[in-house]
Amino acid sequence: MSRSTRRIAHLSDVHTLDPAHRRSSARYRIATRAVSLGRPVDPRDRARKLARGLEAAKASGADHVVITGDLTEVGDPKEFEHFAQILSDAHMPEGTVTLVPGNHDAYTSAAGWRRALEGPLARYASASATDAGKVVDRGEVAFLPIDTSCFQSIARSGGMFTPDAARAVQARIDDPGLRDKSIVLVMHHPPFVRHGNPLSEWVDGLRGCKHVLEMLARHPRVQILHGHMHRVVDRIVDLGKGVAGLANRARILGAPAIVDDAEVPRVRLYDLGDGLLESAGLFAM
Ligand SMILES: [Fe+2]
């Protein structure tokens, strides 16, 4: 394990494809076209962007990298293998990469993420989303990677923060052993409704997001890194009375999508200051 975390690089929404896409089944080709929403279905281009994003993360001096879901286009085993190969080729040090699944990673199978962690992504399992309440202790920062994905039709893109997950995460936040650390929940779905329409929560949002917002309101050291929106997000939580000094710090932070960036993808950076993450801009190379 390397030194304590002072800088974090945040990548998201990679949407890796099977490199043999053109020779794969008609069912796979139709599904990936449908969920690509008009983007070019080009496995090599997407792989190149992830590789460059990882190079940028390393060059930025980040001590830890988080990739907040939609690692693959439909959660196909071949896609997970390809994603793992690109990570491996980038020689990311063990224990310094935190992965969580997104809705796309669960379109093929309810067990796809677990099988990927037991198979091609085994090297990254120790720092990635497995059981609810898991803590990845990196010195001054404790990451809590959370799986919000659920097996569902490609017509839906929502996620779920279950009451069990809420209890497990709450217990960790209350743990005196983490009292002096900056706590970072890492999850794909942001804890709000994308279009401001409560009806969209079921289709596209995070069911159970009120548990997350309650935690943020009660605990000023808790922050969230998320994906799903495919753009930079800086949201401030209304902390209520008593912790007004922290009220103007964004604590819900989203990163742009690797898949949507041009040839040179942008990586979002944060530096640790006063126990909270400070946005350090976007970095590309
Ligand atoms: Fe995505």
CATH number at residue 64: 3.60.21.10
Tokens of 53: 């994003």
Domain for residue 65, yes or no?
yes
pLDDT for 167: 95
Alpha carbon of 249 to ligand 1 centroid (Å): 26
Highest-confidence range of 39-53, 191-205, 231-245, by mean pLDDT? 39-53
Select from 83, 87, 57, 71 the least CA-distant residue to 284: 57
Distance 70 CA to ligand 1 centre (A): 5
**Structural domain containing residue 14:** 7-283
Residue 148 counted as domain residue: yes
The Cα–Cα gap between 238 and 55 comes to: 36
Q: For residue 100, tell me if it sits in a domain.
A: yes
Q: Is the pLDDT of residue 1 over 50?
A: no
Compute, in angstroms, the gap from residue 280 CA to the centroid of ligand 1: 23
Give the Cα separation of 165 and 230 in Å (integer). Answer: 25
For the chain, give the mean pLDDT.
91
Ligand 1 center to 227 CA (angstroms): 7
User: What pLDDT shows up at residue 239?
Assistant: 56
Task: Let me know if residue 137 belongs to a domain.
Answer: yes
Ligand 1 centroid – CA 35 distance (Å): 9
What token pair was written down for 176?
């005196």
Q: Give distance in angstroms: CA of 257 to centre of ligand 1.
A: 7
Higher pLDDT, 267 or 221: 267
**In the prediction, which pLDDT does 193 show?**
66
2 occurs within a structural domain: no
Q: What is the Å distance from ligand 1's center to 50 Cα?
A: 14
For residue 45, being part of any structural domain is answered with yes
Quick one: pLDDT band at residue 275, thresholds 50, 70, 90?
confident
Tell me the three state secondary structure of residue 30: helix
Location of structure tokens 């009120």: 210
CA of 202 to the centre of ligand 1 (A): 17
Cα distance from N-terminal residue to C-terminal residue, the chain? 26
Nearest of 60, 56, 57, 136 to residue 98 by alpha carbon: 136
Is the model more confident about 65 or about 201? Answer: 65
- Render pLDDT for 218-243 as a digit per residue (tens, 0 to 9): 888 899 999 999 999 999 876 555 45
Q: Is the pLDDT assigned to residue 2 strictly greater than 50?
A: no
Q: How does pLDDT run across 87-138, given as a tens digit for each residue? A: 999 999 889 999 999 999 999 999 999 999 999 999 999 999 999 999 999 9
pLDDT value of position 196: 62
Q: What is the pLDDT of residue 249?
A: 76
Distance 13 CA to ligand 1 centre (A): 4
CA of 123 to the centre of ligand 1 (A): 23
Residue 1 lies in a domain: no
Q: Residue 143: phi, psi to the nearest 5? A: -90, 135
Calculate the CA dihedral of residues 51, 54, 55, 59 and round it to 10 degrees.
170
**Domain count across the chain:** 1
Express as a percent the part of the chain with pLDDT over 90: 76
Pairing of strands 136-138, 159-160: unpaired
Distance of CA 98 to the CA centre of its chain: 8
Structure confidence at residue 220 (pLDDT): 86
Sorting pLDDT into bands at 50, 70 and 90, what band is 202? low
Q: Are 98 and 136 in contact (CB under 8 A)?
A: yes
Tell me the C-alpha distance between 190 and 72, whole Å: 19
For residue 146, the CA-to-ligand 1 centroid distance in Å is 16
